[in-house]
Structure 1
């Protein structure tokens, strides 16, 4: 081992919350973060697309959401109780806008720690934190992308959590495995040696684009001799994103899934449901669905998902009340929505290396017993080499194919001035248990910075809601809000979702990109200039421009 490699910091392991949190689209493992002084705990989902920390504020739990809302949303974050909060302003939330998600957040700088007190997780000051209320983002978010944020101009980047760790030499890379979050390494026991490596896409909103050349399934799921049935045979490009649970596919492919699995589309909730008879039949058969991934040089990789990976229950806020068996497939309105979410990542490991501008995917493995094998991954400067399309560290103790890292899990890395950051992430659902200092500002091209849309800071900061995506509750909340406004009653601290803009800052059906601090004539009803609406699929060359931050101001 060289002196350079021996001086690198070891991985940091962070425990999960030990809770199974339900975002309405199934139960998923979450992580604990603590925000502020005094510290306030929150259980959050990890996001491969996000670069910020989001926590739910009191406005996210109005009375109509019930007495368990705070627990259901991962605990409530109260800015008023903090002594170290530095306010930034009210900005639009920029995750999943292509999928129709929307909302706004009250941003500030605050201390963020990973893990429970005493667990040894890192604690960083001056991190970008947003208080959110919009039900589209039901849980808080811990972003794994290292792209900086800008809240005024492109010349004032605010480093992400991952970037700060790397800048402060706290990790060589970043990752998550079953039952733990590993910063600066990976668990070698979690993945197969088979993998493919692809270039990272330049668009910060769509880092991990892959080509799926075929989707097939075996009806019984139990016999290798059973003839497979083709669900898709024409290659399509899809975006991997841990932020959402669903798989978004073209309507024609969804129709084949409907026929094969007896799925029923619900226009109100925008999910596929199954009746009890079909659900029981599929559980008994446990068919395998195989996604064949391809590269431009002819490599193929099969990611096999058993039906159990799709066997989920929908609940509030995805549906108004109760629970229903559902299949986490959604119809994409256009090609910008083609997405492989957390469902896919239950059986696929992903590692994204921004320093090398590539990411790798491998099937996860499920041994009868798990024994963690935590290892460091070194940055390119620490004597690494590439062999046959995989990355192999020269040091034997860290030798591993670049792609075989993340699955049931996900991984990613971020590049900042030649620094490699790795995140390794495991989306582990209950079924696997039962069935088997101030941050340094990176000096990189400002055109690569993530955009943040700002809402007029003179407006009421309690207005933290967006439209309620895909349920009848939206109409009810919208009508209630309109009635209150018509009656002249102010709605403070409890502004809720609405499917149409009604004059409050945080009711944003979509987010539209404009130069920093450029005003919008009306409250986010339509993009400035021609646009591609996530719901309608209309074209807009500027809609996904992430090179500029956007500030919104509104007319009374």
Structure 2
């Protein structure tokens, strides 16, 4: 192949001699993922790497990225690496006694270019005839949710950090047959590597493909070449192949995920000088692998599959490609280191990775939280303050007289202003240590009757009802001060035969009553009961005695 054609077929070239930032490290073996030839050597060094085209959406720049060069400007030009590759592994690179160098995706993460050491990838499919959906997709630090049909299956990377799955089912369906078992009950432990073009399978499985689709294996090129007749037959069969995958045997889950590839995904062309071909020719992209280290799901598989990898959580996912032409939906995978930042340095580094909008949003959210906390604290303080104040409404309700039953012999008092009982000692009350607290009656509040009411019930021992005579004696004693036993309670200093002077209040309003009737009634009452004779009543001597000799202070009415 002419040099110009060789260079143009490889895409853009990198010339180390023309770079001003390349720092040579040395010549080291190229790591062929299929381990077919360990004699390939490449020139390694440190270089400044940016994604995208200059002036056309150029991505973040990473200084000191560890790269390897092959081809014209190295010790060996090999067709095994016809195109350049971007390493997406997170493990550091180490050669012999050389110091380790972080991978590109790790360096990009440490340079705050992406939110995590993760990526999402699909190879694209030109047979879909739609430019918007047929192109490949690579998202660093996240994934494009519009490119796949979501499922809940999660795979785990192995101890070496490699992506491996178990192929437990391989079924083909054609226009004339269905459920063709291409795996023949054998489980195959498969590697996942997007740097490999084809699907590498055990030899026994490849022979089952030959019988099912009429494939012919070419010993010279180690390819399944397809001529025009075979191509027309396969187009008529229009087979599709379903891959059933699950986590490796060390996993305890029995769940699986299925990826379906149409025949168009297997209808590929190979060009010179690939595998010694002299011309462009159709081929069926499965390859024979002699050992399990070569059994690989390559880019042919990822035409119809989407791969999402999170190196920091040691997890990855496989999804069926979605061709519904959905709108771009980029989602970030956030590093777990952000959630574990405890020190000031880690926290500052985590915050510095956030966008300005995210930082502003966090600040606004913090202000809102502080405002809500302050409002809640003020409300609680006001509530406790109100609870400490006396509840006068409950006191008024307690002192309001309850409604008497209808059959109560008592009647309610006339409504008027309420009089509340005092709950403290009066101000003029004297306090003495020797004072008997049980005998202190000053604090007892006497009830106030605004109008004459019913007599309160007498709280005393029961007795008999007074007779008429006893009632008159008690009444006379209260008015005249006469002892019923005959002993006068008049003042001693008065002269014999001289009665005590009466006040105007003591004079009974008994004018106009017959004197003789009262006197005779009094005399009969005394004699009838057989009581001792009462002292004769002597009225005050004076001018009024002769004029109104019938005035008495009380009378006995029969």
- TM-superposed CA distance for 1:321, in Å, is 1.6
Q: Distance in 2 between matches of 1:175 and 1:96?
A: 20
CA distance in 1: counterparts of 2:187 and 2:308, whole angstroms: 22
Deviation (angstroms), 1:301? 1.4
Give the corresponding residue for 1:355. 312
Picking from 84, 106, 112, the partner of 1:163 is 106
| Counterpart Cα distance in 2 of 1:280 and 1:289 | 18
**CA offsets, 1:433-456, max 9 Å, x none?**
xxxxxxxxxxxxxxxxxxxxxxxx
Gaps of 5+ in 1: 1-63, 385-417, 422-556
The yes-or-no answer on 1:380 pairing with 2:357 is no
SS of aligned partner of 2:209 = helix
**Deviation of 1:121 (Å):** 0.7
Q: Which structure's relative contact order is higher, taking Cα pairs within 8 Å and 6+ residues apart? A: 1
> Aligned-pair distance for 1:93?
0.4
Q: Deviations over 1:31-53 (max 9, x none)?
A: xxxxxxxxxxxxxxxxxxxxxxx
Q: Can you list the C-alpha shifts for 1:214-256, whole angstroms capped at 9, x where unaligned?
A: 11100129xxxx5311010221111011011111111111001
Residues 106 and 130 of structure 1 are in contact (CA less than 8 Å); yes or no, is this contact kept in structure 2?
Answer: yes
CA contact (8 A) 1:347 1:364 kept: yes
- Cα 1:272/1:179, change in 2 over 3 Å: closer
Answer whether contact 2:29 2:40 (CA < 8 A) is retained: yes
Alpha-carbon contact 2:62-2:111 (below 8 Å) kept: no
Q: Work out the CA distance in 2 between the residues paired with 1:179 and 1:272.
A: 25
Further displaced range: 141-150 or 175-184: 175-184
Mapped to 1, the partners of 2:212 and 2:339 lie a distance apart of: 50
For 1:237, the equivalent position in structure 2 comes to 189
RMSD: 2.4
Contact 1:91–1:104 (8 Å) recurs in 2: yes
Deviation at residue 66 of structure 1 after TM alignment: 4.7
Is it true that 1:137 corresponds to 2:88 in the alignment?
no
Residue in 2 aligned with 1:147? Answer: 91
d(CA) in 1 for partners of 2:214, 2:318: 30
Cα 1:166/1:213, change in 2 over 3 Å: same
Counterpart Cα distance in 1 of 2:210 and 2:220? 17
Stretches of 4+ moved more than 6 A in 1?
A: none
The higher radius of gyration belongs to 2
Secondary structure of the structure 1 residue equivalent to 2:155: strand
Matching of residue 125 in structure 1 with residue 125 in structure 2: no
Matches within 5 A, 1:365-514: 365-367=322-324, 369-381=325-337
What is the aligned counterpart of 1:200 among 145, 151, 157? 157
Is the 1:197–1:359 contact (alpha carbons within 8 Å) kept by the matching residues of 2?
A: yes
Pairing 1:69–2:69 present? no
Larger % of strand: which?
Answer: 1
CA–CA separation in structure 1 for the residues paired with 2:198 and 2:37: 13
Judge conservation of contact 2:215–2:225 (CA < 8 Å) in 1. yes
Shift of 1:370: 3.5
Q: Runs of 5+ in structure 2 lacking a partner?
A: 72-77, 122-134, 341-349, 354-558
What residue number does 1:276 align with?
228
| Partner residue in 2 for 1:399 | none
**1:82 is matched with which residue: 19, 43, 46?**
19
TM-score of the superposed pair, with normalisation by structure 2: 0.54
How far apart, CA to CA, are the structure 2 residues paired with 1:235 and 1:179?
Answer: 30
Matched residues in 1 for 2:338 and 2:238: separation? 45
Q: The residue matched to 2:232 in structure 1 has which SS?
A: helix
| CA deviation vs aligned residue, 1:519-543 (integer Å, no higher than 9, x gap) | xxxxxxxxxxxxxxxxxxxxxxxxx
The residue that corresponds to 1:342 in the other structure is 299
Output one character per residue of 1:139-166: Cα deviation in whole Å (capped at 9) or x when no partner. Answer: 1111111211124526x21111111111
Indicate the residue corresponding to 2:445 in structure 1. Answer: none
* Pairing partner for 1:305 from 251, 261, 267: 261
Higher alpha-carbon deviation: 76-85 or 108-117: 76-85
User: How many residues end up aligned between the 2 structures?
Assistant: 316
How far apart in 1 are the matches of 2:137 and 2:287? 30
Q: Aligned residue for 2:148?
A: 191
Q: CA deviation at 1:266?
A: 1.1
SS at match of 1:83: coil
> If each structure's helix is expressed as a fraction of its own residues, which one has the higher value?
2
Preserved CA contact (<8 Å) 1:195 1:363 = no
Deviation readout 1:373-419 (Å, 9 max, x if unpaired): 112121234569xxxxxxxxxxxxxxxxxxxxxxxxxxxxxxxxx9x
From 301, 315, 324, the counterpart of 2:281: 324
Aligned to 2:178: 227
Give yes or no for contact 1:262–1:274 (8 Å, CA) kept in 2: no
Shift of 1:131: 1.5
3-state SS in 2 of match to 1:163: helix
**TM-score, structure 1 as length reference:** 0.54
The secondary structure found in structure 2 opposite 1:255 is helix
TM-superposed CA distance for 1:100, in Å, is: 4.2
| In 2: Cα distance, 1:100 partner to 1:253 partner | 24
- 2:277, 2:268 → 1: CA distance? 17
- Aligned residue for 2:146, secondary structure, equals coil
**In structure 1, what is the Cα distance between the partners aligned to 2:232 and 2:206?**
21
Could you give the per-residue CA deviations for residues 92-125 of structure 1, whole angstroms, max 9, x where no partner exists?
1013143447521111111111001121311111
Structure 2 CA distance, aligned partners of 1:104 and 1:314?
25
Q: Of the candidates 190, 197, 213, which is equivalent to residue 261 of structure 1?
A: 213
SS of equivalent to 1:252: helix
Would you say 1:364 and 2:321 are equivalent positions? yes
Q: Would the aligned equivalents of 2:120 and 2:309 in 1 still touch at CA under 8 Å?
A: no
Secondary structure at the counterpart of residue 245 of structure 1: coil
Shift of 1:331: 0.8
